[in-house]
Amino acid sequence: MNSFNDVWQSVCEYCKNSIHSVAYNTWISTLEPVAMDGDTAVIRSRSDYQKTIVESHYTELLSRGFEEVFGFPVSIRIVVEEAAVTKPSPKPEDSSFRYTFDNFVVGPSNKFAHAAAVAVANDPGHAYNPFFIYGNPGLGKTHLLNAMRNEMAKKFPDLKIVYTQGEPFMNEIIEAIHNVGTVEFREKYRKADVLIIDDIQFIIGRGEATQVEFFNTFEALHRENKQIIISSDRHPKDMKSLDERIESRLINGLTADIEQPDYETRVQIIRSKAKERNLEIPDVVVQYIANQLKSNVRQLEGIVNKLNSYHDLMGEEPLLSVVTPMINEIRKEEMPEPITIERIIDNVAVAYDVTAADICSKKQNAQIANARHIAIYIAREVTGLPLKTIGKSFGRNHATVSASLKKIENDIQHNARLNDTVNDIIKNIQNS
């Protein structure tokens, strides 16, 4: 993979974390890198229509992404497929294939999870089933899941392995239920020999029908000794609104947690990532990074990637003077963005099987009205905004908002299940 492709992957990651997943998948993910022309990044779109949309709405975002990597302003030029005069860079291979057990750095924080993952990959469907890995974001859960997938694909080429992430999996369930497409959904997932779901927490706090479909899929596979591998940001017992049957099945398998890496493991991770890129980082810089970034393996890899890009594209050596501003920037990014009422409405809409437009409408059927009350309650709990401001977002006045708050406060006191659901929705919003 050449240097500009490496840069493009970092820019895509920046964009993915900055806009809604639907917008990213529709307009950004299908763009392809062409080349750097001075301080201009040439990007190829698949159609004139896509070019128009990207130029109108996303060039500033892309420019910020390139500046994040290079450290200086970059102009964006979008060309359509036929107009690309520079030979396009080869499309990068699926990045998931680079995750293996060999390049997973083992330390006290992940030793048990790693050993269990290896055992599962060597004997799928029999060793530990289901296998559940949990821990905070950025600690290596996705690496282990992909390492298991790649190892099983190599050792057992006839196995049908289905890998998905929690959010698209949840969306597939919802779409199947709404569009009577459950036959296709079940054909895809229940015929798998190995089902791997990364970040299952997205299904928590969702509608009952969603969890029932997941449970039935789980049961169909488990009865036939098909391997089920799941990751989450929390233990099953901490998913308060999770269907009790699902919780029981997950706990009856093997659960393994991944914790924050200690100093020695962080040093080893930095050195390992640098070695993969043939980048020599002085010991003093390695130690500085390991001391500054303590909670997230993904950040350590990101720093090494950025140092590598600076080295390849700008001739910058990985010195303290170069890495210090990078780390300062990461610390700024760690400041949580304010949670918007729009985000709250979107999450509640998914949980209660209505649309965001329904919640903000004048419709008064029981399901929509209940979702609206809960969205107003969560908006008050999470944002702390004045009732008048919250009311404007829902097209309601102060008195209506106040009535919604009182209703949900009273319902929560008398309905433990509702309380758990609301708390899980809030967790999903805060972690998304």
Q: Tell me the per-residue pLDDT of 338-390, one tens digit each, with 9 for 90 and over.
A: 788 888 898 888 778 788 888 988 888 888 989 999 999 999 888 888 888 89
Instruction: Return the closest-CA partner of residue 310 out of 6, 34, 30, 37.
Output: 6
Q: Which amino acid is at 136?
A: N
**Domain containing 301: what range?**
261-333
Measured CA to CA, the distance from residue 384 to residue 380 in angstroms comes to: 5
Same domain, 103 and 193: yes
Same domain, 1 and 66: yes
Instruction: Return the closest-CA partner of residue 144 out of 117, 120, 126.
Output: 117
Whether pLDDT at 298 is above 80: yes
Whether pLDDT at 254 is above 90: yes
Average pLDDT, the chain: 84
Measured CA to CA, the distance from residue 426 to residue 431 in angstroms comes to: 9
Same domain, 229 and 112: yes
Same domain, 104 and 190: yes
Neighbouring CB atoms inside 10 A of 269's CB total: 23
Instruction: Return the closest-CA partner of residue 261 out of 136, 97, 146, 149.
Output: 136
Neighbouring CB atoms inside 10 A of 143's CB total: 24
Output the pLDDT for position 83.
Answer: 40
Measured CA to CA, the distance from residue 205 to residue 363 in angstroms comes to: 23
Strand order in the sheet with 254-257: 161-165, 194-198, 227-232, 131-134, 254-257
- Whether the CB-CB separation of 70 and 15 falls below 8 Å is answered with no
* pTM of structure: 0.62
- Whether the CB-CB separation of 258 and 91 falls below 8 Å is answered with no
Output the pLDDT for position 89.
Answer: 36
Same domain, 183 and 111: yes
Q: Cβ neighbours of residue 290 under 8 Å, at least 6 residues apart? A: 263, 266, 267, 270, 300
Whether pLDDT at 247 is above 80: yes
Q: Element (H or E) spanning 128, and its range?
A: none
Measured CA to CA, the distance from residue 170 to residue 349 in angstroms comes to: 13
The pLDDT of 224-253, averaged and rounded, is 86
Whether pLDDT at 87 is above 50: no
Q: Cβ neighbours of residue 340 under 8 Å, at least 6 residues apart? A: none
Among 257, 279, 306, residue at a domain's last position: 257
Number of domains observed in the structure of the chain: 4
Q: What's the pLDDT tens digit per position in 11-33?
A: 998 888 888 776 787 788 889 89
Output the pLDDT for position 318.
Answer: 87
Whether pLDDT at 334 is above 80: no
Instruction: Return the closest-CA partner of residue 68 out of 133, 27, 123, 10.
Output: 10
Same domain, 84 and 154: no
Q: SS3 for 137?
A: coil
% of the chain beyond a pLDDT of 70:
92
Output the pLDDT for position 37.
Answer: 77
The CATH number of whichever domain residue 425 belongs to comes to 1.10.1750.10
Residue with tokens 């300062």: 328
% of the chain beyond a pLDDT of 90:
25
Using pLDDT thresholds of 50, 70 and 90, give the confidence band for residue 207: low
Among 89, 113, 129, residue at a domain's last position: 89
E runs forming strands in 240-394: 254-257
Q: What's the pLDDT tens digit per position in 34-45?
A: 888 777 889 998
Same domain, 144 and 251: yes
Q: What's the pLDDT tens digit per position in 277-290?
A: 889 999 999 999 99
Using pLDDT thresholds of 50, 70 and 90, give the confidence band for residue 90: very low
Peptide bond into 318 cis (omega under 30): no
Measured CA to CA, the distance from residue 83 to residue 91 in angstroms comes to: 18
Same domain, 141 and 183: yes
Using pLDDT thresholds of 50, 70 and 90, give the confidence band for residue 336: low
Same domain, 405 and 323: no
The CATH number of whichever domain residue 292 belongs to comes to 1.10.8.60
The CATH number of whichever domain residue 41 belongs to comes to 3.30.300.180
Output the pLDDT for position 171.
Answer: 80
Same domain, 134 and 227: yes
Measured CA to CA, the distance from residue 236 to residue 255 in angstroms comes to: 9
Phi, psi of 257 (to 5 degrees): -105, 155
- In b/e form, how buried is each residue of 206-215, taking b as 16+ CB within 10 angstroms? bbeebbebbe
H and E: helices and strands count for the chain: 20, 8
Q: Give start and end residues of each alpha helix (H) in 58-195.
A: 59-70, 111-122, 141-155, 166-178, 182-189
- Whether the CB-CB separation of 69 and 8 falls below 8 Å is answered with no
Among 257, 290, 312, residue at a domain's last position: 257
Q: SS3 for 232?
A: strand
Measured CA to CA, the distance from residue 249 to residue 321 in angstroms comes to: 51
Output the pLDDT for position 206.
Answer: 65
Output the pLDDT for position 333.
Answer: 66
Whether pLDDT at 95 is above 60: no
Output the pLDDT for position 48.
Answer: 76
The two three-digit tokens of residue 178, written as one number? 């709404």
Output the pLDDT for position 384.
Answer: 80
The pLDDT of 154-173, averaged and rounded, is 87
Whether pLDDT at 178 is above 80: no
Query: Which of 91-95, 235-239, 244-248, 414-418 is the least confident region?
Result: 91-95
Q: What's the pLDDT tens digit per position in 142-163?
A: 999 999 999 999 999 999 999 9
Same domain, 230 and 272: no
The CATH number of whichever domain residue 227 belongs to comes to 3.40.50.300
Strand order in the sheet with 40-45: 32-37, 40-45, 75-80
Output the pLDDT for position 84.
Answer: 39
Greater confidence (151 vs 241) lies with 151
Same domain, 106 and 191: yes
